[in-house]
Amino acid sequence: MKKILSILTLIILTFTSSQAQKLKADAPRAVIAGEKFQLRYSIDTEASDLRLPVMDNDIQILMGPSTTQSTNMTIVNGNVQRNSTYAFTYILKIDQPGKYTIPSATITSGGKKIESNAIELEVVKGDDKAAARQSTQADEVGAAQISGDELMLVVTANRKEVFKDEPIVLTTKIYVRDVALQGISSVKNPELRDFISQELPRKENIEWTIENINGKTYNVGVYEQKLLFPQKTGSLTISPVEIEFLIKQRVARRSQSIFDEFFESNYRNVKKLVASKPLNIQVKNLPTPAPSDFSGVVGSIKMDVSTSKNQVKTNDGVTIKLVVSGSGNHKLMNTPKMNIPSDFDQFDPKVTNDINNTVAGMSGSKTFEYLVIPRHAGDFTIPPVTLSYFDIHTKQYKQLSSGNITINVEKGSGDESAAVIQQFAASREDLKFIGKDIRYIKTDKGKMKPRGSFLYGSLMFWVLMIVPVIGFIIFILVIQKQLHDSANVIQTRHRKASKLATKRLKQASHLLKTGHKEGFYDELLRALWGYMGDKLKLPVAQLSRDNASNLMSQMQVPEGTIQRFMNILDTCEFARYAPASGSAEMDKLYHETIETITLLENQMKGNYNSRKVAK
């Protein structure tokens, strides 16, 4: 009997667990065109990695996801039961009327992917929903009653006059007085095209302090901070920040009954759009002329140069490590040049960054590791490494210099036996071998051979004459076969360009899941350029924006598709230094890339086949 009860309990728990792991999607069935609405996903178990589906281009994601967790506890006969619900909320907007479908989203829970239900909704014009319009108008009236002194948005900069590339901390603060602030509906950030922008770490919740301004007391909270590096000189204007707040207001009601005061809510949330004032920044150019070894760093840095070893043998690798540390914009600095003797083979340096964004600028270190391999024995001296930067404290250029680097190279087992002398100011190839430039006259008679024993005219002579001809013919045939095979390879790459691009995008998908944003955008660029190179039968190194656009135009690809491809390239390039995008924007860009490659594949394939038939 106990076994039966245990089995029944296990079945019930399994059924309950399977029922709990369900992702539910909720949204209004009808919305007004241009009005914001909520898309909410909820699940009764802990989950992560919510992936939105590919939506119609008219559906705009304004904000999200906003994650909340609620727990209900019930006690029955001394038994405590807790139920937790996890919710992910997005703010959407659709401007064009019509019927739309939001496909299923996916989320990961317990190592399994769970799909949500799809949502059908209808977007109607304002006239078709008079009641909703009246509610919206009522909210606007309520928001209009809130004065500019009660809710303010202030954007400040720690410096208003700076040099080019000097860091600026941009701070956005919220000032609240006598207003019940409930939340934020949407945010419109300014375009910072003349700056390189980096977001500073943000706390999960706004910490409020009290300030007195003109005799009025405000609750003040820092909404966000950004680190800006101006890239142009002159007067630069930062456009206003716009935030739509949700404010709780009391509503006057005419109660029909005394019980209405207890069972009906006397409050409602209204929306208030608040904008900051534009901010002007004066940017001065750096003094001219700049030093020849100027690294592009504006800040305060120091340099340390070291070698992995100073006593080596020929053909052994030596690592020269150059570390630049301090604060400034040294993450963007140029690679320092080293005057390596011609007796060494030199390779491109490996660059690593250990830099954090702080209110003082980018703080940390950037490391360059140069690998050099000595090819000849001797004592070698590498001249000092010099690096200049602009010190923002003294307003002057300063030069950093290392000491001489001495490397003693001993003869290794792989050295050549012939003695060599390197001419002054010559390269490694300009070598002069001693003992091979003079031939003396022979005085002995040597060995004589009888007539008829010479190679000329013999069977071996004719064999040696014919074999090279046959070998040359075989060589020509092999070359022709290789050219034919190479053409087939190019043709195969052309046909399978879409599959190759899909393989390249797998790495981008992995980086998206792990949150590696810079690597994600770099991988998208490699996938796009790799696909275009395979499709146009050109090496990626020979591709550029102009010739790619011209070649696609020659293949009769629509201008809209070409512009869509170029917009994705611009987004990836700009995202390297632009403010960090959210996972939703990255996911949307990832799916837009897949759609664009698919669209190009269909259009270019159709145009290619039509041209082939025409021929």
Domain identity same for 99 and 163: no
Please tell me the distance from the alpha carbon of residue 420 to that of residue 345, in angstroms, as a whole number.
18
Residue 544 inside a domain? The answer is yes
Residue 138 inside a domain? The answer is no
Cβ 168 vs Cβ 228: under 8 Å: yes
Residue 518 inside a domain? The answer is yes
Strands 59-76, 79-94: pairing kind:
antiparallel
Residues (pLDDT < 50) of the chain are 5, 8, 10-20, 127-144, 258-259, 262-264, 415-436, 612-615
Which of 233, 249, 284 is a domain's end point? 284
The pLDDT assigned to 19 comes to 47
CATH number at residue 502: 1.20.120
Which of 249, 284, 319 is a domain's end point? 284
Domain identity same for 236 and 212: yes
The pLDDT assigned to 420 comes to 38
Domain identity same for 117 and 188: no
Contacting residues for 32 by C-beta, under 8 A, at least 6 apart: 123, 124, 125, 126, 129, 132, 133, 136
Based on the structure, what is the number of domains in the chain? Answer: 4
Strands 386-391, 396-401: pairing kind:
antiparallel
Contacting residues for 360 by C-beta, under 8 A, at least 6 apart: 167, 327
Domain identity same for 106 and 224: no
Residue 6 inside a domain? The answer is no
Please tell me the distance from the alpha carbon of residue 403 to that of residue 305, in angstroms, as a whole number.
8
Domain identity same for 398 and 319: yes
Domain identity same for 326 and 393: yes
Strands 431-433, 420-422: pairing kind:
antiparallel
Cβ 530 vs Cβ 504: under 8 Å: yes
Please tell me the distance from the alpha carbon of residue 77 to that of residue 522, in angstroms, as a whole number.
59
Residue 113 inside a domain? The answer is yes
Domain identity same for 245 and 309: no
Q: What residues form DSSP beta bridges with 332?
A: none
Domain identity same for 154 and 244: yes
Report which DSSP code applies to 225: E
Residue 99 inside a domain? The answer is yes
Domain identity same for 301 and 278: no
Please tell me the distance from the alpha carbon of residue 41 to that of residue 86, in angstroms, as a whole number.
8
Strands 119-124, 30-32: pairing kind:
parallel
The pLDDT assigned to 540 comes to 76
Q: Which two tokens stand for residue 9?
A: 């309990």
Please tell me the distance from the alpha carbon of residue 471 to that of residue 477, in angstroms, as a whole number.
10
Contacting residues for 80 by C-beta, under 8 A, at least 6 apart: 73, 74
Q: What residues form DSSP beta bridges with 212?
A: 217
Residue 488 inside a domain? The answer is no
Q: Which two tokens stand for residue 374?
A: 């000595």
The pLDDT assigned to 429 comes to 39
pLDDT in tens, 264-323: 456 778 888 999 999 999 999 999 999 999 999 998 999 999 999 999 999 888 999 999
Which of 231, 261, 284 is a domain's end point? 284
The pLDDT assigned to 438 comes to 53
| Parent domain of 329 | 294-410
The pLDDT assigned to 210 comes to 82
Q: How far is CA 178 from CA 150, 152, 213, 248, in A?
A: 6, 12, 14, 11
Domain identity same for 330 and 244: no
H or E element at residue 246: strand 242-250
CATH number at residue 190: 2.60.40
DSSP of 369-384, one letter per residue?
Answer: EEEEEE-S-EEEEEPP
Q: How far is CA 260 from CA 88, 191, 267, 268, 466, in A?
A: 33, 49, 13, 16, 114
Please tell me the distance from the alpha carbon of residue 296 to that of residue 334, in angstroms, as a whole number.
6
Domain identity same for 325 and 250: no
CATH number at residue 54: 2.60.40.10
pTM above 0.75, yes or no: no
Residue 460 inside a domain? The answer is no
| Spatial CA neighbour of 379 closest among 349, 341, 416, 347 | 341
CATH number at residue 390: 2.60.40.1510
Domain identity same for 264 and 167: yes
Q: Is 257 helix (H, G, I), strand (E, B) or coil?
A: coil
